Amino acid sequence: MCGRYSITTAPEALRRLFAVSDMINLEPRYNMAPMQTAPVIRTRDGERHMDRLRWGLVPAWAPDESRAASLINGRSETVAEKPAFRDAYAKRRCLVPADGFYEWQKRGSGKQPYRVSLEGNRPFAFAGLWERWQKGVEPVETFTLLTTEADPRIAHIHHRMPVILASPDEFSVWLDGESAARSALLRPYAEADLIFAPVSKRVGNVRNDDPALMEALDETEDARDEAPLPPKQGSLF
């Protein structure tokens, strides 16, 4: 499961990396949380556009928005089959820019958060899906992140990880490629530049959103700065 992530890369660097034709104003986010709006990249009229969508998928056929909090993630192994995701997987894929994500490792009766990123805080994208729900007063656009088995290097932290796309070629395949090529991207990130480190438990509180959340703690340091754990959200679908 992925329930928190960061996106702090400068907008111009994101525009170049993702070849976006138009950008939105972005401020650094160190603790992006479910049900908040976040930047996503979609193909429209043959060009890539960056838009703000709410994190937590609401399928177009859903009678209401109540399932959004439970559909922040989708299992890549079954995404082509499950009713909540299959239509979006076929027709509405997106890139979700990020430069790190957080997972919680069970330790005794508590949990220790870790930040997982690429060396140099290099930006990348999560493989995402988006939907437009139009049964309310106004249309609501939402997205979800796809997950896969964790790479062995971080499986001791959590057994799942988001699908990471790190190159322009992968971006193009995910947005516009053939089905077989897209499916091949739904795997653990296995490149050598994957890094991880324990971080402050302050990240468990959505009200905390500052650069200190990204700072690595010494592995021998006891992170005693208590804060609420993130709510149990995700998807088993």
Among all residues, which ones are annotated catalytic? 2, 103
* Spatial contact of 143 and 53, defined as CB atoms under 8 Å apart: yes
**What string of DSSP letters covers 188-220?**
----TTEEEEE--GGGGSTT--SGGGGPPPPTT
To 5 degrees, how large is the angle CA 147–CA 60–CA 37?
A: 60
SS3 179: helix
Can you tell me the distance from the alpha carbon of 187 to that of 168, in angstroms, rounded to the nearest whole number? 17
Q: Is 56 left (phi over 0), alpha (psi -120 to 50) or beta?
A: left
* Spatial contact of 200 and 212, defined as CB atoms under 8 Å apart: yes
Pairing of strands 47-55, 140-149: parallel
What percentage of the chain's residues is helix, strand, coil (to nearest 5)? 20, 35, 45
